[in-house]
Amino acid sequence: MFFFKKIPLFIAFAIFLNSSENIGSSTVELPPTREQFRESNRLEKGLTNKEKTDLKRSHSAVIDFDGQIAMRHIENLTSFGPRSPEYPRAKLSTLSYIRSQIPPSMSIQLHEFDANGLNGTNLWVSSRVEKKKSNTLIMIGTHWDTRSVADRDTDISQRNMPVLGANDGASGVAVLIEVAKHLHSKPPGVNVDLIFFDLEDLGNIGNNKYAIGSSKFVKENPKYRPTTGIIIDMVCDRDLRIPREYYSSVSAPEVLDRVWDSAERQDAKVFKNVRGGAVIDDHIPFLQVGIPVVNLIHFPFPNTWHTTNDTIKFCRSRSLSQVGRVILDFIYYYDLNQTIR
């Protein structure tokens, strides 16, 4: 954390590699049973990394992660219009939509807060296992709000218009809703929270900062100490590429390693094992209090970022399904690895 405070606020590393992901698969490979996992660990000795991965995958069951259904969530969420403070009805519709999609086995809490004269609502979904089974808690978060102004639009006349946020606001929500459904039908042996943060995307508008909702969440829940966490943001683009975000790589490299192990097991080619930019997002307030949370975000940001072109037209189900599969793999393998040691 000491090192984290010394990092300049925003360093853009404009490394751009052409991405040509074409993974249309919408399946997640579930991890093996504990017995199979032990057996594959025993057999692994002396194998190359690729052989180890193949061996683990050969013991996996397959279930669907439906990127098409996630696309439908994006369609529904954007149909409410922009989800920024100027549109309170759209915000209410969004909250009630998310609530309606969460399976009944999970509990929902609203964290309401005030900041800079704005009201915000974080929606906190919890999936719990018996206390004696695990004390691991994995937090997966995303923001559900959208930016008030399209201030990066190439057309100057559009820069006061709101952003619709198919990618920047709805894509993370869509993936988390489907993750919730998987956790309900195949409960992992660890505790999981899914947090939908409000007011992430008002940075540099008036005197607002980025990540207001998550900052408030961390401040107002000082006893909240998840073991680890992942924030996802902007994960539906047709040319999605997710490198290793800089602050995450400095402050939580072991979590990023686990994510990239999952990406390898899932053959999720949108994950690039290269350094990304430094992004102020909802992981930062957690890192600032010593909780290892990483940010999975498209970088360099796509051309639609903070423009009126951030619509579903540029989203693809194959991008959503890769991110969904990696998150599920991360959760299920966390369980297996914890228990084995």
Q: Which does 279 bind (CB under 5 to 8 A by kind): ligand 1BN, Zn ion, none?
A: ligand 1BN
CB of 225 to Zn ion, least distance (A): 28
Does position 66 interact with Zn ion (CB under 5 A)? The reply is: no
Does position 281 interact with Zn ion (CB under 5 A)? The reply is: no
Beta-carbon count within 10 A of 62 CB: 9
Does position 168 interact with Zn ion (CB under 5 A)? The reply is: yes
Count of residues interacting with Zn ion (CB under 5 A): 3
Q: Under a CB-based contact definition with an 8 Å cutoff, are residues 31 and 333 in contact?
A: yes
Q: What distance in Å separates the CA atoms of residue 217 and residue 122, rounded to the nearest whole number?
A: 8
Helix intervals (H) in the chain = 2-5, 34-44, 49-58, 67-79, 88-101, 171-185, 212-220, 246-251, 253-265, 284-288, 317-340
Q: What distance in Å separates the CA atoms of residue 111 and residue 67, rounded to the nearest whole number?
A: 29
Question: Between residue 67 and residue 96, which ones bind ligand 1BN under the rule CB under 6 A?
Answer: none
Can you say how many angstroms the Cα of residue 231 is from the centroid of all Cα atoms in its chain?
Answer: 4
Burial classification of residue 161, based on how many CB atoms lie within 10 Å of its CB (0-12 exposed, 13-18 middle, 19 or more buried):
middle
Does position 198 interact with Zn ion (CB under 5 A)? The reply is: no
Q: Which stretch binds ligand 1BN (CB under 6 A): 77-85, 89-97, 101-109, 275-283?
A: 275-283
Does position 233 interact with ligand 1BN (CB under 6 A)? The reply is: yes
Q: What distance in Å separates the CA atoms of residue 320 and residue 68, rounded to the nearest whole number?
A: 9
CB of 237 to Zn ion, least distance (A): 13
Selected from 21, 153, 201, 310, the binder of Zn ion by CB under 5 A is 201
Selected from 168, 245, 329, 335, the binder of ligand 1BN by CB under 6 A is 168
Residues 194-213: x where in contact with ligand 1BN by CB under 6 A, - otherwise, as a string:
-------x-x------x---
Q: What distance in Å separates the CA atoms of residue 150 and residue 156, rounded to the nearest whole number?
A: 9
Count of residues interacting with ligand 1BN (CB under 6 A): 10
Q: Which stretch binds ligand 1BN (CB under 6 A): 180-188, 250-258, 276-284, 312-320?
A: 276-284
Does position 310 interact with ligand 1BN (CB under 6 A)? The reply is: no
Does position 237 interact with Zn ion (CB under 5 A)? The reply is: no
Question: Between residue 32 and residue 61, which ones bind Zn ion under the rule CB under 5 A?
Answer: none
Cα torsion angle, 159, 163, 164, 165, sign: positive
Q: CB nearer to ligand 1BN: give 153 or 281.
A: 281
Does position 310 interact with Zn ion (CB under 5 A)? The reply is: no
**Considering all CA atoms of the chain, what is the largest pairwise distance in Å, rounded to the nearest integer?**
63
Cα torsion angle, 128, 129, 131, 134, sign: negative
Selected from 29, 66, 245, 281, the binder of ligand 1BN by CB under 6 A is 281
Phi-psi region of 211 (alpha: psi -120 to 50; beta: other; left: phi over 0): left
CB of 169 to ligand 1BN, least distance (A): 8
> Where does this chain bind ligand 1BN (CB under 6 A)?
10, 168, 201, 203, 210, 233-234, 279-281
